[in-house]
């Protein structure tokens, strides 16, 4: 989803490949959401430190030109390297992954069952309407 967002704002494939891992590590290290990490990291390519200037003082010293060239992403990549992987290896990280997998499986089951459930709901509504029309039942 975040990759699609970056593409929609005109980021190149190379920029997207650079932003996503850094944003994952930034999110894991600072506790900000992945969405916020992606959006704020993408902003640095326009020369703006924004909120990241508060979280990562090292990028405040970069010129707008250096940020546009991707130096802010390099700096954050060096500072937070491996944070997402480390977080994923904790019990909490493993539980998050299990929860995501279970959610994906439930979505798949729901998609496969939805035509049957919809048909059943239509049948129940039809019968309920018939009962309401014929009070003698």
The Cα 5–Cα 18 span in angstroms is: 14
Q: Record the pTM.
A: 0.59
What pLDDT sits at residue 135? Answer: 60
pLDDT tens for each residue of 82-94: 777 766 566 766 6
User: What digits encode the pLDDT tens for the residues 21-43?
Assistant: 999 999 888 888 889 999 989 99
Domain spans of the chain? 1-89, 91-137
- Inform me whether the pLDDT recorded for 134 exceeds 70: no
Instruction: State how far the Cα of 64 lies from the Cα of 47, in Å rounded to an integer.
Output: 4
Residue 104's H or E segment, with its range, is helix 91-133
């Amino acid at each position: 989803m975040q990759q699609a967002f970056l593409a929609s704002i005109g980021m190149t494939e190379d920029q997207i490949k650079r932003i996503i891992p850094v944003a994952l590590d930034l999110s894991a290290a600072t506790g900000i959401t992945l969405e916020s990490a992606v959006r704020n990291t993408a902003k640095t390519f326009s020369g703006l430190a924004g909120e990241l200037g508060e979280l990562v003082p090292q990028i405040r010293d970069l010129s707008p030109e250096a940020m546009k060239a991707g130096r802010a992403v390099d700096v954050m990549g060096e500072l937070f390297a491996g944070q997402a992987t480390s977080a994923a290896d904790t019990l909490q990280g493993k539980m998050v992954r299990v929860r995501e997998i279970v959610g994906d499986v439930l979505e798949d089951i729901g998609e496969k069952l939805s035509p049957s459930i919809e048909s059943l709901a239509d049948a129940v509504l039809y019968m309920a309407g018939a009962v309401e029309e014929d009070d003698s039942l």
